[in-house]
Amino acid sequence: MDPTLLVVVVIVTALVFDFTNGFHDTANSMATSIATGALRPKVAVAISAVLNLAGAFLSIQVAKTISSGLVDETKIGPAIVFGGLIGAIVWNLFTWFVGLPSSSSHALFGGLIGATWIASGSSSVHFGKIVEKVLIPAAISPLIAGVVAMTATFVVYRFLKGRKNKTGGFRVGQIISASLVSLAHGTNDAQKTMGVITLAMISAGSLPPGSAPPTWVIISAALALALGTYLGGWRITYTLGKGLTDIEGPQGFAAQTSSAAVILVSSHLGFPLSTTHVCSGGIVGSGVGRSEAPVRWGMAGRMVIAWLFTLPAAAVVGAGAGKLASLGTAGTIGVGVVGIGLGITIYLRSRRHPVTAHSFHVPEPSAPGSEPEQVAA
């Protein structure tokens, strides 16, 4: 395949991944606000999309980590990046279909690592950087968010103890904290696609090693993420908003604020962590902090299992796709056809039992000072 055409194919595929990242991770920002009725579903995803778009322009540190930190960009080509992206997209669609909030970020890292390893050898993978920048943050970020959210929830409910209205005044706070998470998500996650596109261009010789993402890459990645966010990943939103614990306004506010703080700090430091891990940890922590809202540990356990499998599963698919794509034009076309076929199959199966914005029974937003209704199960 003509190298220029292959780079174009990789760029389009990266933007498709970015789109799936958007609807896969909408729940991270807005699930708690939808669950408590602070925001109606369509309004929530619209706000989240706008702030994801804005957040993408705040930093490029994570993009630089991906484009020049995880794998040796001088030893791979665009076909390898393409294979890695296919692995990430397939895993994203599968976990969305089953409603599990797994990490789009780790799916991307796994696909890229697997494709690079099988095509160029283990020496092309910077395992030290992966441990430092990916695995350690993956392990500690949900714990940090959980502890912070647990502490904040406990303090808030202690402050509200004995008061008749414990939740009504937190609607505005939830909207603000959810908006912060959306801004943070755009800052962290859009950069991952920017980094992959930049990596593909470096590997093709279109950019020198160590280059920052060009402006058009930043804009296109931001738009793709925002569009995916606006369409809403209702299956995962349902799981995070209703499956882990019963959420009230103060609790949702604590979870979201804690998550936003952790994500923004990590983006500033260049750690491409999983916003899914952080936000899930925040929700679980808020449930622990409020004794009346027991955590559903069975669902939490299934999520953790999905997290553990995300990187290696995407790596296996990425390795196969990358190896096939590296064989030439026929291999690249074959990978593309299989990827499209799997995507269509998963989508059609999802329509048998659709989950949409109308699947949520959301009460009218409470007036200030009144007790909001709870979302029906």
pTM, 2 dp: 0.79
Give the pLDDT confidence score for residue 101 in this predicted structure: 79
- Give the Cα separation of 275 and 261 in Å (integer): 11
Average of per-residue pLDDT across 283-306: 83
Query: Does 362 score more than 70 pLDDT?
Result: no
- CA-based nearest residue to 237, from 247, 226, 227: 247
Burial of 346 (0-12, 13-18, 19+ CB in 10 A): middle
pLDDT per residue as tens digits for the range 34-60: 877 888 888 888 998 999 899 888 877
Name the one residue in this structure whose structure tokens are 């076929």.
341
Stated length of the chain: 377
Give the pLDDT confidence score for residue 174 in this predicted structure: 82
pLDDT band at 337 (very low <50, low <70, confident <90, very high): very high
Give the pLDDT confidence score for residue 162 in this predicted structure: 67
Domain ranges of the chain: 3-357
Helix or strand run (H / E) with residue 146: helix 136-160
Q: What are the DSSP E strand ranges found in the chain?
A: none
Give the pLDDT confidence score for residue 376 in this predicted structure: 35
Rg, C-alpha atoms of the chain: 20
Least confident of 5-14, 40-49, 356-365: 356-365
pLDDT per residue as tens digits for the range 260-294: 888 878 777 777 677 888 888 888 888 888 877 67
Give the pLDDT confidence score for residue 227 in this predicted structure: 92
pLDDT per residue as tens digits for the range 338-347: 999 998 999 8
Mean pLDDT, rounded, of the chain? 81
More confident: 220 or 122:
220
Give the pLDDT confidence score for residue 360 in this predicted structure: 61
Give the pLDDT confidence score for residue 169 in this predicted structure: 64
pLDDT per residue as tens digits for the range 133-185: 788 888 888 898 889 889 988 888 888 776 665 555 677 888 888 888 888 88
Give the pLDDT confidence score for residue 50 in this predicted structure: 92
Give the pLDDT confidence score for residue 371 in this predicted structure: 40
Give the pLDDT confidence score for residue 137 in this predicted structure: 82
pLDDT band at 13 (very low <50, low <70, confident <90, very high): very high
Give the pLDDT confidence score for residue 210 in this predicted structure: 78
pLDDT band at 68 (very low <50, low <70, confident <90, very high): low
For residues 54 and 229, is the Cβ–Cβ distance under 8 A? no
- Give the Cα separation of 332 and 326 in Å (integer): 7
More confident: 108 or 169:
108
pLDDT per residue as tens digits for the range 202-257: 888 888 887 888 899 999 999 999 998 888 677 787 777 777 787 778 888 888 88
More confident: 361 or 98:
98
